[in-house]
Amino acid sequence: MTSARQAILFLTHVRSARVLQHLERLRRETAGLMPVFVCVDDRGSRRDTAASFPSDFSVREEDWRRLAPARAAHLRHGPRTDYYDLFYLPALLSERLSGFDHVWFIENDVDFAGNWGDFFRPAMQSAADLLATTVYPRPLQPGWTHWRRFRTPERIPQERHIRAFLPLARFSQRLIRAYAEEAHDPAWAGQFEAMWPTLAAERGWPISDLGGAGPFQPAEGFAFYRNTFNRRTLSPGNFVFRPARRVYFHEDPAAFPETGQLYHPVKGW
């Protein structure tokens, strides 16, 4: 159990009125638990922007090139989806978030079928350095498509590689700092969703899965999402990369068949 100070970092590249309502619900239902900070990636803003959208941080290329030069250099040769961490890492490392022991990261297309407080209250009690979803060691999921571009320092053999799914995750402050240090090492390359858990495990820090059936189930027994695991892939469930829903939970609860579950992606912007 932990009474550590925690915060939420909400990342969005869409500043629509609907996303704003989704954010306001998140803030309303977590009031008294922890503050919500907003990071806006407006490099490709849509025309359907809200008249006024709150922003504590913005994505700036000069920031990530300064803080993670090796990963920024790799970005020139790899897909942007492998280096999505660069867009929010400067916010995680900001002075405003440095006083929090744990920081939650949530993309704007993640939703919870219920009151957000009911999700966060038990999850906040975990002492894990990384709380994530769909966490599997490489030997248990060798067919994951992103392994072919993932590289680590020689001290970490392939059998100790771990992957996760990170549209929603929680990072400890010491893991954030360690990640920033390792981001200077060009031996790390490729998918950020493998770098976070592999680094945490390499440091010997605890990792917990928010649900599913993998080997990193937390002692608390969370079951906030359901995926079906087989040898090579994950069958579509309620927290995968498809299929997409077109409405948020607060707009149409009936579109979310299981309550008390995380859902992703919601693309009804």
Q: How many CB atoms lie under 10 A from the CB of residue 20?
A: 20
Q: Is residue 1 part of a domain?
A: no
CATH number for the domain spanning 57: value is 3.90.550
Per-residue model confidence (pLDDT) at position 269: 74
Residue with tokens 């002075």: 95
Determine the residue type at 246: R
Query: Virtual CA dihedral for 30, 33, 35, 40, nearest 10 degrees?
Result: -40
Q: Is residue 138 part of a domain?
A: yes
Determine the residue type at 134: T
Q: Is residue 114 part of a domain?
A: yes
Count how many domains the chain has.
1
Residue 51 has pLDDT above 90, yes or no: no
Q: How far apart are the first and last CA of the chain?
A: 37
Per-residue model confidence (pLDDT) at position 231: 46
Q: If you count them, how many residues does the chain have?
A: 269
Radius of gyration of the chain (CA): 18
Per-residue model confidence (pLDDT) at position 44: 67
Alpha-helical regions (H) of the chain: 17-29, 61-67, 69-75, 85-92, 116-123, 173-182, 192-202
Q: Is residue 180 part of a domain?
A: yes
Asked, as a colleague might, if the bond just before 243 is cis with ω within 30 of 0, I would say yes
Contact 67, 93 (CB under 8 A): yes
Q: Is residue 81 part of a domain?
A: yes
Instruction: Work out the pLDDT band at 178, boundaries 50, 70, 90.
Output: very high
Contact 157, 31 (CB under 8 A): no
Instruction: Work out the pLDDT band at 227, boundaries 50, 70, 90.
Output: confident
> Taking residues 37-62, what's their average pLDDT?
83
List the single range of 43-47, 88-92, 113-117 with lowest mean pLDDT. Answer: 43-47
> Taking residues 125-129, what's their average pLDDT?
95
Alpha carbons 64 and 71: distance in angstroms, whole number: 9
Contacts of 115 (CB under 8 A, 6+ apart): 29
Q: Is residue 269 part of a domain?
A: no
Q: Is residue 268 part of a domain?
A: no
Per-residue model confidence (pLDDT) at position 77: 86
Residue 55 structural domain: 6-263
Q: Is residue 200 part of a domain?
A: yes
